[in-house]
């Protein structure tokens, strides 16, 4: 087994952080759906369940298109689009004045989130070698699992203060997304300079 070089390891960790974040975006809705139901009149478990469907349906099916786009235009630009798209839709979630608009925003966020897995896994596969790909994918899996486990834990910490609304929670998610997008943008510029 060959060790990952320092630069490859940094890139794998960066992409793996984006992996953790996609699952945090995914699990933000279950963390706040009761608050959403309480805010909008006539919204109950059925409607918030449908909201979850509207998020996850494009998240799964959109991966087919996202994989084709990643092959055609490159993984790093697509990952930046995923991060900025999820950030923009999180801002729209904060603003959404009606449940109908929120439903459209959730569908759109699921579309942007669908980019992650094909683009992220393709980038890790390209940047690693057959000898160290298992290690790279292991790190990727670990951070993704931390995102899945950490999302409800982070939500509970945020909401314990009592001063943060579900809308504010979505705004908070934009901070790590924009930070990772900037770091990937620097990586793209570095690649072009070579």
User: What tens-digit pLDDT sequence spans the chain (194 residues)?
Assistant: 678 999 999 999 999 999 999 999 999 999 999 999 999 999 999 999 999 999 999 999 999 999 999 999 999 999 999 999 999 999 999 999 999 999 999 999 999 999 999 999 999 999 999 999 999 999 999 999 999 999 999 999 999 988 899 999 999 999 999 999 999 999 988 888 87
Q: Would you say how long the chain is, in residues?
A: 194
Cα 45 to chain centroid, rounded:
24
Q: DSSP state, 185?
A: H
Q: What is the CATH number of domain 8-193?
A: 1.20.1250.20
- Residue ranges of domains in the chain: 8-193
């Amino acid at each position: 087994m060959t060790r990952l070089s320092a630069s490859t390891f940094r890139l794998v960790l960066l992409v793996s952080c984006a992996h953790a974040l996609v699952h945090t975006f995914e699990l933000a809705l279950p963390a706040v759906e009761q608050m959403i139901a309480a805010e909008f009149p006539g919204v109950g478990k059925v409607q918030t369940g449908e909201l979850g469907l509207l998020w996850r349906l494009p998240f799964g099916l959109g991966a087919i298109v996202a994989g084709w786009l990643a092959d055609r235009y490159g993984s790093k630009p697509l990952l930046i689009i995923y991060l900025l798209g999820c950030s923009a839709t999180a801002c729209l979630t904060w603003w959404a004045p009606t449940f109908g608009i929120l439903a459209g925003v959730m569908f759109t966020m699921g579309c942007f989130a669908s980019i992650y897995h094909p683009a992220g896994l393709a980038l890790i596969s390209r940047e690693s070698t057959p000898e160290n790909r298992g290690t790279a994918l292991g790190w990727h899996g670990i951070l993704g699992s931390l995102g899945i486990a950490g999302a409800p834990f982070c939500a509970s910490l945020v909401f314990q203060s009592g001063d943060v609304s579900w809308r504010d929670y979505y705004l908070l998610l934009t901070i790590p997304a924009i930070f990772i997008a900037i770091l990937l943008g620097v990586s793209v510029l570095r690649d072009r300079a070579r």
